């Protein structure tokens, strides 16, 4: 199983609340532990002070946590006055629910994930 497929399967498992997947067949076996993969997430800090938003103000769908992200993906927003600054994933990883509540104030360097 290549890394992209593994990441997609883990993402689907997390979206549907499946913590463990085990398969055994004639060609071999497979075991994916979604809970274990969530523990290995990167630290992501606020790039500026502002109000931390889990999603863009024009989006109506709540984000899913935990979820797989790729380096450079927008995973949140900081509202600084009328300006929205994207919060970007710093590596390919699984991220947990943010450490701050939606629309909370964050200082420069505050840990968000």
Average pLDDT score, the chain: 85
CA distances to 55, 60, 79, 80, 103 from 93, in Å:
19, 24, 24, 27, 24
User: Using 50, 70 and 90 to split pLDDT, how confident is the model at 103?
Assistant: very high
Q: 63 φ, ψ to 5°?
A: -70, 155
Give me the pLDDT at residue 91, please: 83
> How do the domains of the chain map onto residue ranges?
3-39, 50-106
Nearest to 33, CA basis, from 63, 60, 9, 65: 9
Tell me the per-residue pLDDT of 19-74, one tens digit each, with 9 for 90 and over: 788 888 888 888 887 655 554 567 899 999 999 999 999 999 888 888 878 889 99
pTM, rounded to two decimals: 0.65
Which of residues 106 and 9 earns the better pLDDT score?
106
pLDDT at 17 over 80: no
50-106 folds as OB fold (Dihydrolipoamide Acetyltransferase, E2P) (2.40.50)
């Amino acid at each position: 199983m290549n890394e992209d497929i593994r990441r997609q399967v883990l993402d689907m498992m997390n979206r549907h609340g499946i913590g463990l997947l085990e398969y055994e067949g004639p060609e071999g076996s497979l075991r994916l532990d979604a809970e274990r993969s969530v523990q290995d997430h990167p630290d992501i800090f606020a790039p500026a002070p502002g109000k931390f938003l889990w999603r863009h103000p024009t989006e109506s769908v709540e984000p899913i946590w935990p979820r797989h992200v790729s380096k450079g993906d927008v995973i949140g927003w900081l509202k600084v006055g009328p300006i929205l600054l994207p919060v970007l994933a710093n590596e390919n990883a699984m991220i947990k629910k943010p450490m701050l509540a939606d629309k909370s104030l964050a200082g420069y360097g505050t840990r968000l994930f």
